[in-house]
Amino acid sequence: MTNISFIFLLLVGNIVPPANFTKYEQRFIPPIDAHVDPPAPLPPPYDTRTDIFGQQVPRLRQPYLWKLTYKLNNPQGESVRKQRDLVRNQQLAESQFIQDYRNAQKSRQGAVPAK
């Protein structure tokens, strides 16, 4: 850089381009039309949901067919449930009776006869 161009740069503040520099035309950027509304956003895909952070994540799957219960698959499910409850109540009553009987036996054995 010569002294003259250096002084010119300090005084004016413009950088002089090199001699072989060619200036190209600017790219065309279409103006933004203020009257046209932007297109509506597309709805999210069916198999996604929005989580608590606003991200689209896959939906939680429904249970597979093999996870369905007997009650849902069997037309006699209600009667089977009632029968099961009767049997369970009967077993609980028998076990309570047995416990009461054992407690009575223990209390009789532990009691000291009066003299």
Per-residue pLDDT tens digits for 53-78: 988 888 887 656 665 677 677 778 78
Query: Is there a domain that residue 80 lies in?
Result: yes
Grade residue 87 by pLDDT with cuts at 50, 70 and 90: very high
In a domain, residue 46? The reply is: no
Please report whether residue 83 resides in a domain.
Answer: yes
Kindly state whether residue 42 falls inside one of the protein's structural domains.
Answer: no
47 is a domain residue = no
- In angstroms, the CA 26 to CA 9 distance is 26
Total structural domains within the chain = 1
**How does residue 8 score in pLDDT terms, banded at 50, 70 and 90?**
low
Amino acid 86: pLDDT: 92
- With respect to residue 50, please indicate whether it lies within any of the assigned structural domains: no
Domain extent, residue 108, equals: 76-115
Nearest to 18 by CA among 5, 31, 28: 5
Average pLDDT value for the chain? 77
- pTM equals 0.31
94 found inside a domain: yes
Query: Per-residue pLDDT tens for 13-42?
Result: 667 777 787 778 888 887 776 667 778 888
CA distance 27 to 30: 10
Q: 108-113, long-range: CB within 8 Å, 24+ apart, which pairs?
A: none
Mean pLDDT of 88-96: 89
For residue 86, tell me if it sits in a domain.
yes
Q: Read off φ and ψ for residue 62, nearest 5 degrees.
A: -75, 160
Cα Dmax for the chain: 138
